[in-house]
Amino acid sequence: MSAKAATGMDRRTGVALWRQIADQIRQGIGAGHFGEGGRLPPETALAERFGVNRHTVRGAIAALVQEGVLRAEQGRGTFVEKRKRLSYPIARRTRFSEGLRDQAQERRGHLLDHAHEAAEPRVAAALGLDADAPVLRVETMSEADGRPVSRATSWFDAARFEGIAEAIAETGSVTLAYRRHGVEDYFRQSTIVSARHADAVDLAALRLAPGAIVLVAVAVNVDTEGRPIQFSETRFAADRVELAVAE
């Protein structure tokens, strides 16, 4: 059995060898194979292990250095840049900033865009509105310690929450924006979690490398009377975040 077959490297998949190797190394780091602040084996050893030329391994390392995952020092070696994943809690009372309070110094939300539109079927169903009812679509992004964490698309009943986009922009907080519209408290009604490759827009907004993965949380928030107030789809950078389900 050849080394290539053994390591799962394949050349007819449309994915370059250096990228497959970069993905394996990134995964190995996540699995803790190189220890805390660990050192990678020399390029020659990695090349032998993966059954490729040293230059190909160098391509993989260069990509991971660019991503900020590795740091290469001439004459010394290649080292893991240690950054731990943020743990984002999903519970009945889910709020962005509070959940990450102990894990990051700075937490910020940005309003990227907003627009009026007619509700798509899934939006109308989630908000309990008629099809094509007027809704407000709001695009936001969140950062922790200067690193993009998530990007969300939210829909609100336009009749009830006119001007909420401006309130989010001013306060940088959905919770505070709700207050201005008479919602003192709210709850998470449902959350559906899936995962996929990031699309071009999210890649740019979250500053991710091509082929990166996003965790997708589709959620409905309700007020204290159980009326739906927000339908949202949030994309989290999967290499920076994990979701902690509270039960």
Partner DNA sequence: AAATATTTGTCCGTATGTATT
Partner DNA sequence: TAATACATACGGACAAATATT
Query: What residue has token string 């990695």?
Result: 46
Q: Binds 138, which of a copy of itself, DNA, none (CB < 5 to 8 A, cut-off by type)?
A: none
Residue 198: Cβ-neighbour burial (10 angstroms; 0-12, 13-18, 19+) = buried
Q: Does 190 bind a copy of itself (CB under 8 A)?
A: yes
Angle, nearest 10°, between helix axes 43-50 and 17-30? 110
7 or 97: whose CB is closer to DNA?
Answer: 7
Q: Residue 219 carries which side chain, given as an amino acid letter?
A: A
Within residues 2-21, the interface with DNA by CB under 7 A covers 11-14, 16-19
**Quick one: what does residue 40 bind among a copy of itself, DNA, none, with the CB cut-off 5 to 8 Å set by partner type?**
DNA
CB closer to a copy of itself, 5 vs 45: 5
Alpha carbon 147 to its chain's center: 11
Q: How many CB atoms lie within 10 A of CB 129?
A: 19
52 binds DNA (CB under 7 A): yes
How far apart are CB 41 and DNA at their closest, in Å? 7
242 interacts with, out of a copy of itself, DNA, none, CB within 5 to 8 A per kind: a copy of itself
Work out the angle between the directed axes of helices 54-67 and 17-30 (0-180°, nearest 10): 60
Query: What binding mask, one character per residue, do residues 66-85 give for a copy of itself by CB under 8 A, x or -?
Result: -------------------x
Residues 57-96 that bind DNA (CB under 7 A): 58-59, 61, 72-78
The answer to whether 221 and 189 have CB atoms below 8 angstroms apart is: yes
Q: Which of 114, 17, 96, 12 is nearest to 63 (CA)?
A: 17
Which residues of the shown chain bind DNA in the complex (CB under 7 A)?
A: 11-14, 16-19, 40, 42-44, 51-53, 55-56, 58-59, 61, 72-78
